[in-house]
Structure 1
Amino acid sequence: MRLLSSYLIIAMCFVTSLANAARQPFELAGNSVPAGEQRSFLASVTNTEMVVPMTVFHGKKDGPVLTLSAGTHGDEFPAITALQRLRHEIDLAALKGTLILVHAANLPALHQYGLSALHPGDKKNLNREFPGSENGTATEQLAYFLTQEIVARSDYLADLHSGSAYQQLWPHIYAPFVGDEKLDARTLEWAKASGMQHIVLYGDRPRDPENSISYPNTAMTRGKPGLTLEIGDLGNNQEEDILAYLDALRRLIAGIDMLPSELPVSEGQVIYKQLIDVETPSMGFFEPHCEIGELVEAGALLGTVRDYFGEPIADLRAPKRGVVLMLRHTPPVNQGMGLITLGIE
C-alpha cells in the first residue's frame, strides 16, 4: 500500500508538472510573459508615440484573465497608486489565471499641465470613444488599442475611476447590464464581491459592440463582465481612498477565485436602479445645500444658483428620494449642467 501511494503521489506530481509546462506564455502588446512570471513594461500604442504602462502576472495555474485598469482620465489618482501597491503583493505561486494591471491608460491626459480628464491632443474623453479607430484622433487610437489588446485578451475588466478635480463623489460601483441575463447576473455578483456598499445598476450604454462608448461597456458588449469603480474625488490622492481601493481590488480578485481571501463578507449593500442628474436652468454661481452621501427626501432643497451679485436665480430640488452620489464642487456653472447626481433605490 505504501509503495502504491508513493507511485500515486509521483504520478500526480508528474501530471501537475506537465500541466504547468503546457501553460503557454501570455502575449500582450508585443510582450511575452512565461507562466509563473511577472513582467512590467511600457506597451507601445500602434502607429503613435503613446505608451501604456502595464504589469502582467501570468500564473502557472489555469484561471481567468482579469484586467484592472486605472488612469482613463487624467485627474483621477487613487487607483493608480493602489495598483502600484497591489503590484508588490500578488502571490504568483497561488495565482490562478492571469492578472493585467494597466497602471495609467491615458498617460497624455495624466501629464498635461493642470488637472484635466481629457487627452490634450484632441480634447476628447477616452471613456466616450470606444471601441475607437485605428486611424482616428489620438484618443480614438488609444481606445482602439485598449479594445484590441486589453478587452480582447480579458475575461473580466474593472475600470477604476475617481471624482474629477471639480467633483465630490460618494464611493460606488457601477454594474452595467446589456440584456443578457446570464452576463448581467455574473456582472452584478462580481460587483457585490467588491465589498463596496453602494452598487448602481446601469443600462444606459449602447448595446452595439461597434458603438460601445465606454471602456467597461466595450467588455460587456463582447460578453465579458465589466465594472466601473468610483473611489476618491476632487483630484486628490488621499490615503483613505487608496486603502479603500486596495480592499475592493483584493475582493474582486478573490471574487472570481484567482487568489484566496480571508476578508469578511460585506453586509448592508445598497443597490440603486436609477441615477438622476439635477441640472441647473441658469448660468451662474452654485451654492450647495446638501452633502455627499446624504439621503434627501423628494422636494428637498439641494442647492441654489446665484447671479454675479449674489441674488438667487434658481433653487434646485430633489425630484425623488435618494442618496447624493456626486456633487459639483466648484461654483461657476453653465445652463443645463448636472450639478447633483442622486442614486434612487
Structure 2
Amino acid sequence: MGRRITGPRASTAFTTIDIDKPGKQNGFVMIPHSPHDDAWGVTRIPIGVISNGKGPTVILEGGNHGDEYEGPITIAELMRDLPADQVEGRLILMPSVNVPAAIAGQRTSTVDGLNFNRTFPGDPRGTMTQQISAFMSDEILPRGDAFIDLHSGGSSLDILPSSVVEPAEDAELERKSIAANRAFDAPAIVVISNLGDTRTATASAIASGLITVGTEMGGCGTVSIEALEICRRGVRNVLSHLGVLPGHTIEIRHENQKVLELPGSKAFVYATMDGVFEGFHQKGREVRAGEEAGRIHCPWDPTRPPETLTYQADGILYGRRQPGRVKPGNCCLVVAAPYQEKI
C-alpha cells in the first residue's frame, strides 16, 4: 500500500507515495491511530511532491495551526495546478500538516490538545501531534534545502500581513533567509524568536540548516482577501528566488519593506483580569511605552471599574486580539519595533 518510514527513530508512520520519486504525486502520510471507534485506523496527513530536474528541495507547510487558512489554500492550489515541467528541483507540499486541528478549524489538535508548533522535534512513539512533528523532523526537514511555513493570526489575533525571519546563529544562513523573505514581498518583515522557544517548525528548520521563510497573514479566523493575494504571490516569488520556478518572474510591490522585530516580552500586552477587552488603537499605529493601550471591562459586575492596560515598548501595533472576551494572561496586543541591526 505505501512506503514504511525507516528513519533514525522507530516510527509506525508510512506514506502512500514515494517522496523521492520524480514527477507529480499527491497522497498521504498515514499514522496508525486506535481510538474508541476505529481499532486499526490511521490519521491521514495530505502530502504532495512535484519533482523535476536537479534544483533544490523546498518544503511548504500550511495548517500548522488549524485556524489559519491562507497558507493551506495556497499550497493546495500548487498541489492541484502546478505542472511538474514548470519545476526545477522538488517541492514537498503539506497544506494541512496538523490535520486534526485543520478539520476542526482550531489552533490545537482535537486528538491530544497539543499545539503542534510547540512539540518539535516530536516523538515517534508519543501522542498524535508529537508523531506528526517527529515525522517532519526525521523524514521531511532532512530532505530540504529551504522551508516555507505559512501562518496567519488564527482565531485569536489579527496581525499585519508580514513575512517572518527566524533568527539563526549561522550568519550566512540568516542572510539567505532574509533574502528569501525580501523576495516574498510582504509589506513588512518581522524578526520573531518566540522568546527563544526552539520547539517550533521554523526553529527546527533553521537548526537543520534550511533557508527559512515564515509568515503571518492576517487572522481573525477568516480568509483575508488581501493576505491571500500576498501569500499566493509571495510563495511563487520565493520559489522563483530559490530557482525552483525558473519561468516565474519575481514581482516586487513593496520596495521599502518595513523591517521590524518583536522586542522580547515587552512586545506583548496581556490581560490582567477576567472580562471584555477594549483596544484603543488600530493595527499599524505608532505607539509608545507607557501609553494607554486599552482597558478590560467586567459587564457582569458593573460596580467594578475597568482596568487600563499600557504598552511596554515603542513601535507599531502589529497584532490585536480578535475575541473581546479575555482571561488573565491572554495576549491582547502585540507591538513590533524597528529592527536595530542592518539586514
Give the shorter-chain TM-score range. 0.7 to 0.9
Q: Which residue in 2 is equivalent to 1:58?
A: 51
Letter in 2 for 1:103: P
Distance 1:34 1:118 in 2: 30
Q: Secondary structure at the match of 2:133?
A: helix
Relative to structure 1, the CA distance from residue 206 to residue 325 in structure 2 (aligned partners, 3 Å threshold; closer, same or farther) is closer
Q: Which residue in 2 is equivalent to 1:130?
A: 120
Q: Which residue in 1 is equivalent to 2:37?
A: none
Match of 1:284 among 275, 278, 284: 275
**1:331 Cα deviation from its structure 2 partner:** 1.6
Match of 1:69 among 53, 57, 61: 61
Q: Secondary structure at the match of 1:32?
A: coil
Written as runs of structure 1 = structure 2, the 5 A alignment for 1:151-170 is: 151-170=141-160
**1:65 Cα deviation from its structure 2 partner:** 0.3
**1:204 Cα deviation from its structure 2 partner:** 4.6
Distance 2:216 2:261 in 1: 17
Written as runs of structure 1 = structure 2, the 5 A alignment for 1:294-305 is: 294-305=285-296
Match of 2:258 among 251, 270, 278: 270
Letter in 2 for 1:263: I
Written as runs of structure 1 = structure 2, the 5 A alignment for 1:1-345 is: 29=15, 31-32=17-18, 37-45=23-31, 49-59=42-52, 61-112=53-104, 115-204=105-194, 212-260=198-246, 261-265=248-252, 266-275=254-263, 276-308=267-299, 309-310=301-302, 311-345=304-338
Q: Which residue in 2 is equivalent to 1:5?
A: none
Letter in 2 for 1:270: K
* Partner deviation per Cα, 1:12-66 (whole Å, 9 max, x = no partner): xxxxxxxxxxxxxxxx94622676521111121367721211111101x211100
Kindly indicate whether the alpha-carbon contact (under 8 Å) linking 2:295 and 2:307 is maintained by their aligned counterparts in 1.
Answer: yes
Distance 2:196 2:322 in 1: 29
TM-score, scaled to structure 1: 0.83
Please tell me whether Structure 1 or Structure 2 has the larger radius of gyration of its CA atoms. Answer: 1
* Partner deviation per Cα, 1:253-296 (whole Å, 9 max, x = no partner): 01111113323334111111334011222222111111122222
What are the ranges of 5 or more consecutive residues in structure 1 without an aligned counterpart? 1-27
Kindly indicate whether the alpha-carbon contact (under 8 Å) linking 1:205 and 1:217 is maintained by their aligned counterparts in 2.
Answer: no
Distance 1:244 1:160 in 2: 11
Distance 1:185 1:52 in 2: 32
Distance 1:95 1:316 in 2: 51
What are the ranges of 5 or more consecutive residues in structure 2 without an aligned counterpart? 1-13, 35-41, 339-343
Percent identity over the alignment is 23
**1:159 Cα deviation from its structure 2 partner:** 1.0
